[in-house]
Chains A and B, each alone.
Chain A
Amino acid sequence: MQGLDFTVVAPYWDLLLIGAWWTAVLTVSAGALSFVGGILFAVTVLYAPKIVAYPVRALMWVFMGTPLLLQLFLIYFGLAQIGIDIPALAAGIVGLGLHFAVYNADIIRAGIVAVDVGQTEGARSIGFGKWQTLRHVVIPQAIRNTAPPIGGNLIALLKESSIVSVIGIAELVHSAQLAISETFRPFEFYITAAALYYILNLVLEAALRLFERHVEASR
């Protein structure tokens, strides 16, 4: 049995920080995609003609009912087989983004439905069209009201982003594994990686709190 020795981490510190950087990049891009995608899915399911809404709903079911790991494999390896070659990073962002977009869509859909009908009538009576009303009045309020659960999904996304290491994206877990393969010190590197995830999450939570406080001003 070896004793714990965290000095082995020091030579790999740069590697881990680069991994943490890519985790942050993944989280921000997939998070943005999951947010925008969530709004688009929600609006489509609620307002698009059935011929569009039903397939989208079916797609959402598939994303909700199957493991993220499998979805990533399908997007990266499966699509490559039929000639659609997506770089690993893009595949990771799309996979994570769509996976969480589906969960966000459910939340945002409920948020849109919960906005008082008087808001729509107020906007329509001024002369705003259906889409203008959604865009300027209903969706902004739905987002504000659902900010806490959407933020929760973003935090989950940050942690789940580690799974894209399986398709070779050099994010934090991947970096840690690389270092372990050279040093055979799993405990030290996994603990360090966990600490870095925790720090990233603290930053993210602070940003979310800032947004929520901004929203509170209008309540």
Chain B
Amino acid sequence: MSTQRPMVEVRGARKSFGAVEVLRGIDLSVDRGQIVAIIGPSGSGKSTLLRSINHLESLNSGEVWLDGVQVNQPLHGQAFERHINKVRQQMGMVFQHFNLFPHLTVLENISMGPIILKGMTKSDAHALAHSLLSKVGLADKIDAYPSRLSGGQKQRVAIARALAMQPKVMLFDEATSALDPELVDEVNAVMKQLAAEHMTMLIVTHEMRFAGEVADRVLFMDGGVIVEEGPPGDMFRAPQKERTRTFLKKYLSA
């Protein structure tokens, strides 16, 4: 396993918004099939790190690699545009606020990527959408518009939409933070199913219990750096750093 190249690699990532440095030198390597949970207080840079991986934020310095290909290649203009569009097709991103397309049905939301970007035939794309919807338990919603769905259903459709591109890695940016508590489990169940299928995943989350159940590794970020990382058992039971202990105490007692 050690000779295998990592699926996702971040080297020396730095990012500032104006005078505020949000990422202050992040190094991270995620193996194929590994599931990494990123935890930390608001403003710690965990979402920015995730968004930098598929270049929704561009780093000030540092490199991001996906399966041996540099994501933030030093290309310009149209050349970079072509490159990044190709790379993003290989990464699924799931957002806190779902970002489904409200003017399209569930079926169209899921199938438009494969049809337009991969040149898949309509019937193949629709069959794919159907099977993905069955997987997330929403086959009966295939013709619904997103506005008719609950938050949990929207997020499951959003996951199906990302999976339709057959990505190498899935990035979850607080996928359950906007959901009513009783809807969180149905989304977590889908993520657990992906974990069981050995999908490589980076999960930014505030849910320590879920992180503990699903992740192979937990990263604690604060102030734009990775303070501490380890297997969930060690991280939650015996964190080494004082900063981690304080943070976890607040969360686990809540």
Contacts and interface: CB of A to CB of B under 8 A. Distances in A.
Interface stretch (A27-35, A115-123, A188-196): A115-123
A130 B117 contact: no
A66 interface: no
Contacts of A217: 145
Contact of B102 (A127, A130, A141): A141
Contact of A122 (B99, B145, B147): B99
Contact of A118 (B89, B99, B103, B145): B99
Interface string B84-123: 0111110111010101111110000000110011000000
A125 B86 CA distance: 10
Nearest to B113: A126
Contacts of B117: 126-128, 132
A34 B95 CA distance: 37
A125 B91 contact: yes
Given A125-B93, A217-B145, A132 B56 contact: no
B165 interface: yes
Contact of B165 (A126, A215, A219): A126
B103 A127 contact: no
Interface residues of A, number: 23
Interface string B158-183: 10011001000000000000000000
B72 interface: no
B116 A119 contact: no
Nearest to B81: A129
A132 B92 CA distance: 18
B47 to A, nearest CB: 12
Q: Which of B56, B99, B147: most chain A Cβ within 10 A?
A: B99
A118 B81 contact: no
A123 B109 CA distance: 10
A121 B112 CA distance: 15
Given A141-B103, A144-B103, A219-B147, A122 B95 contact: yes
26 contacts: A118-B95, A118-B97, A119-B101, A121-B56, A121-B99, A122-B95, A122-B158, A124-B56, A124-B88, A126-B88, A126-B113, A126-B162, A127-B85, A127-B89, A127-B113, A127-B117, A129-B82, A132-B117, A136-B112, A140-B103, A141-B102, A141-B103, A144-B103, A215-B103, A218-B147, A219-B102
